Structure 1
Amino acid sequence: MSKERILGTAVDLADEGGADAVSMRKISQALGVVPMALYKHVRNKDELLDGMVDAIVGQIDPPAEDTDWKPAVRQRILSARQVLLAHPWAPRVIEERTRARTDPTPAVMDYMESMIGIFRAGGLSIDLTHHALHALGSRLLGFSQELFEDTAGTGPDPAPPPPELAERFPHITELVTAITHEQGSVVGPGCDDQFEFEFALDLLLDGLERLSGEGNSATPELA
């Protein structure tokens, strides 16, 4: 029995049934021990979830060596995305634990330290690096909160708005009627999730690259 074995079992249970399927009782049953045996290694559910987050973040590829900052950041973020796609429950747990804690978990801290180091080694100022972290947000960990994620992908394409709404909202109407969606997408029924993720990521990285060559600051000069 070890903390690593407990966390591995918890991750397996979450992969099978989501984070809500994880409990000390189910972990102990899977390991063939009494629940109290787990508490010698994991004090409570919060510590268990934090450990699961760190176990997932620990699967992200290390930074590429001998390459420029931009492809290094891109590769690392896309590696993070592949890890989270393999563990669909993880984004919600990462978000919840981030809100619940006063500081990130150790593995997340290590990851962020490494990413900041890539930006700084690439010549980005501390100011631009600070703004880069805000702009990239959760994309740094391989996922993003989509504007329509609560309703997208749950049904057929939306019907065109009725005439009175189409007249009031012509641009929305144009968008809704022009794009054909497929089912099962996070971004929207039929949008290519990976393309949309990389599209936004490349826009941000291109912008950071431009700013790094134009004074290396995103903060306007005060008059």
Structure 2
Amino acid sequence: MTRQPEAAPRAPLSRDRVLRAAVALADSTGIEALSMRRLAQELGVVPMALYKHVAHKEELLDGMVETVVGEIGPPAPGTGWRAAVRLRILSARTALLGHPWAAQVIRSRTGPTPAVLAHLDAVIGTFRAGGLSADLTHHAMHALGSRVLGFTQEVFDAAPGPAPQGPAILPPEAAAAYPHVAELAMAAAHDGDSVVGGGCDDRFEFEFALDLLLEGFERLHRQGWTSAGGGVAG
């Protein structure tokens, strides 16, 4: 009689396994389809087993944010402050692009999770280690806004439906009435998948604005800018 091979033992349930399974499920089905029951089915357990590791769905979502933000990589030691901030923010962008639901969930939290706080603390610390004052760093973080976590409001709030495909959507009479809009539409680099706007390359637009901000922070730092005077310190 042929002996049937024994099934491999199932990995014990843990908080990390629950969170990683939830992230994978949201990646494949969308955050709207995520539920404790659906997650339990995915893990092959009864729903009550999940509550030993996450008290409720809100705690599950917090943990999923922690998992995604944990993918943000630090810059190499010795990197200058401006390059280090840029690299960390672009790493955040890469992490969030890998999980399209993550920006929405981060925005839905009532407060920052520990991993988000650690990321913000690292960015602030990089500015301060580079010599920027607490005053300038405060305003720099406000200027960066959600960009510090790798996404922008216009990306998150993009209207559903197909993106416009460049100047072809602009009727001749509109082009004549709004010549500067038409000129920019004709000059745009076309990217049909853009969520920033028709004819725009999301990555280019994100990095373009980020580089302008960092250049501005550096210039203000060199000038000794303070918010009290709104200009160069005396």
Report deviation, 1:152: 7.7
Counterpart residue number, 1:17:
29
Work out the CA distance in 2 between the residues paired with 1:73 and 1:80. 11
- Name which one, 1 or 2, has greater alpha-carbon Rg: 2
1:36–1:61 CA distance, 2 compared to 1 (3 A): same
Q: Is 1:127–1:217's contact at 8 Å kept on the other side of the alignment?
A: yes
Q: Is 2:158–2:196's contact at 8 Å kept on the other side of the alignment?
A: yes
Report deviation, 1:151: 5.7
Counterpart residue number, 2:169:
159
Could you state the TM-score of these two structures normalised by the residue count of structure 2?
Answer: 0.84
Return the match for 1:65 from 77, 83, 87: 77
Work out the CA distance in 2 between the residues paired with 1:149 and 1:181. 17
The count of residues paired between Structure 1 and Structure 2 equals 217
For the pair 1:199 / 2:211, whether they are aligned, the reply is: no
Q: Is 2:164–2:197's contact at 8 Å kept on the other side of the alignment?
A: no
Report deviation, 1:25: 0.7
The 3-state SS of whatever aligns with 2:226 is coil
Work out the CA distance in 2 between the residues paired with 1:11 and 1:96. 16
Report deviation, 1:55: 0.6
Work out the CA distance in 2 between the residues paired with 1:71 and 1:172. 34
Counterpart residue number, 2:103:
91
Letter in 1 for 2:74: P
For the pair 1:175 / 2:187, whether they are aligned, the reply is: no
Could you state the TM-score of these two structures normalised by the residue count of structure 1?
Answer: 0.88
Percent identical: 57
Work out the CA distance in 1 between the residues paired with 2:39 and 2:123. 33
Report deviation, 1:198: 0.8
Counterpart residue number, 1:137:
145
Work out the CA distance in 2 between the residues paired with 1:155 and 1:144. 19
Counterpart residue number, 1:52:
64
Between 172-181 and 72-81, report the one with greater CA deviation.
172-181
The 3-state SS of whatever aligns with 1:11 is helix
For the pair 1:150 / 2:162, whether they are aligned, the reply is: no
Unmatched tracts of structure 2, length 5 or more: 1-12
Between 207-216 and 145-154, report the one with greater CA deviation.
145-154
